C-alpha cells in the first residue's frame, strides 16, 4: 500500500510516488497501456508529464476518456514567452485529449536570462495565469534540475505564489552541503506556504559516462531491487515530499514496489545508513 499526502494547497491527496511520465516518451501505445495497468495496481493517482517528453502526452491521451477522474494530471511548458507558452499548452490539451489539466508547470526554469523572460512582461507566466483564469488549469508550478535550482526556486517563489515546485533529491545530493542548504530553504518556504514539493532523480547511480545505456533514463539508474529500496526509502524518509518515478517503464515497477514497502516508522538515520552502502557518483557537477 502506498501512502498518500496532501499535494500542497490543491486539495488533492496524492500518492507519495507520482508517475514520471517521461517514461512514456519513446514507447508504443501497447507498452504505455501496460504501464497504466501497473499504475492502477499500485493505486497511483498522479501523472506528471511535459510537452517535451517525446510521445508521452500522446500516449496518455487514450487513457483519459476512461481514467481522467482517477488522476491528478500535470504537464509542463518549456516555452519562455507568452504566445509560445500559450500555444504549447493548448497543444498539450489536444494531445492529452482533455479540456483542462490540474497543474501546469514552468519547465526547467534555472537559466537567469530565461527566468527574466518567462517571469517578466510578455513572458510564459502570463500565459499560465491566463489559462488558470480561463479554468483550463487549476494550479501553476515551477520545475528545475542542476545544482543551482534551489536558489532559482527561491527566486521564483519570491516573485510568484506557485502551487508546486520540483527539484532533484537523492542520497548523493544530500551529501552536498551547499545544495542541501538551498534545498532546506526551499522546503521551509514551501512548508510555510503549503506548496507541494516534488523530487526527481531518486535512483540515479550517476552519469552514464562511457557505459552502454540499458535504460531510457538520461542518467544511469539503480536496477537491483535492494538498491532501489535503499535509494527510494532514503528519499521518502524526508517528510512532506513526493517522489517522481524514473523515466523508464521497466525500472518503474521496482520503484513502486520499493515505495509500497516503505515503513514511515523507520528512523531517517537508518534509511541514510542503508543508502550510504550504495555505489553512487554525483549526477550534477559545478
Identify any residues that bridge with 17 across adjacent strands, giving them in sequence order. 243
**Domain 4-275, CATH:** 3.20.20.100
| Structure-block grid coordinates of residue 23 | 517514461
Q: How far is CA 20 from CA 123, 125, 211, 234, in A?
A: 26, 23, 24, 18
pTM: 0.97
Q: Which of 173, 180, 196 has the alpha carbon at shortest distance from 48?
A: 196
pLDDT at 286: 66
Q: How far is CA 135 from CA 44, 103, 129, 139, 149, in A?
A: 25, 11, 10, 10, 29
Per-residue pLDDT of the chain (286 residues; tens, 9 = 90+): 899 999 999 999 999 999 999 999 999 999 999 999 999 999 999 999 999 999 999 999 999 999 999 999 999 999 999 999 999 999 999 999 999 999 999 999 999 999 999 999 999 999 999 999 999 999 999 999 999 999 999 999 999 999 999 999 999 999 999 999 999 999 999 999 999 999 999 999 999 988 999 989 989 999 999 999 999 999 999 999 999 999 999 999 999 999 999 999 999 999 999 999 999 999 987 6
Cell numbers 497504466 correspond to 36
Cell numbers 498518500 correspond to 4
Q: What is the residue extent of each domain of the chain? A: 4-275
Residue 244 sits at φ, ψ, to 5 deg, of -85, 130
Contact 60, 91 (CB under 8 A): no
Amino acid at each position: 500500500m502506498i501512502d498518500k499526502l496532501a499535494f500542497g494547497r490543491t486539495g488533492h491527496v496524492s500518492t507519495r510516488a507520482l508517475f514520471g511520465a517521461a517514461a512514456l516518451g519513446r514507447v508504443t501505445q501497447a507498452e504505455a497501456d501496460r504501464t497504466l495497468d501497473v499504475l492502477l495496481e499500485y493505486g497511483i493517482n498522479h501523472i506528471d508529464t511535459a510537452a517535451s517528453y517525446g510521445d508521452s502526452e500522446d500516449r496518455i491521451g487514450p487513457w483519459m476518456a476512461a481514467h481522467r477522474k482517477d488522476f491528478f494530471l500535470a504537464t509542463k511548458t518549456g516555452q519562455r514567452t507568452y504566445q509560445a507558452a500559450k500555444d504549447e499548452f493548448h497543444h498539450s490539451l489536444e494531445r492529452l485529449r482533455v479540456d483542462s489539466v490540474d497543474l501546469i508547470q514552468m519547465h526547467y526554469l534555472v537559466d537567469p536570462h530565461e527566468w527574466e523572460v518567462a517571469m517578466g512582461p510578455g513572458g510564459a507566466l502570463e500565459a499560465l495565469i491566463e489559462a488558470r483564469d480561463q479554468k483550463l488549469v487549476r494550479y501553476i508550478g515551477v520545475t528545475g534540475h542542476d545544482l543551482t535550482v534551489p536558489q532559482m526556486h527561491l527566486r521564483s517563489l519570491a516573485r510568484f505564489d506557485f502551487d508546486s515546485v520540483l527539484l532533484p533529491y537523492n542520497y548523493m545530493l544530500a551529501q552536498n552541503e551547499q545544495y542541501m542548504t538551498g534545498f532546506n530553504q526551499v522546503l521551509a518556504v514551501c512548508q510555510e506556504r503549503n506548496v507541494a514539493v516534488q523530487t526527481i532523480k531518486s535512483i540515479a547511480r550517476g552519469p552514464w559516462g562511457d557505459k552502454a545505456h540499458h535504460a531510457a533514463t538520461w542518467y544511469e539508474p539503480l536496477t537491483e531491487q535492494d538498491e532501489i529500496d535503499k535509494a527510494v526509502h532514503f528519499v521518502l524518509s524526508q517528510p512532506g515530499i513526493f517522489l517522481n518515478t524514473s523515466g523508464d517503464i521497466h525500472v518503474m515497477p521496482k520503484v513502486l514496489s520499493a515505495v509500497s514497502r516503505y515503513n514511515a516508522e523507520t528512523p531517517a538515520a537508518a534509511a541514510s545508513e542503508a543508502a550510504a552502502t550504495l555505489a553512487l557518483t554525483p549526477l550534477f557537477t559545478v
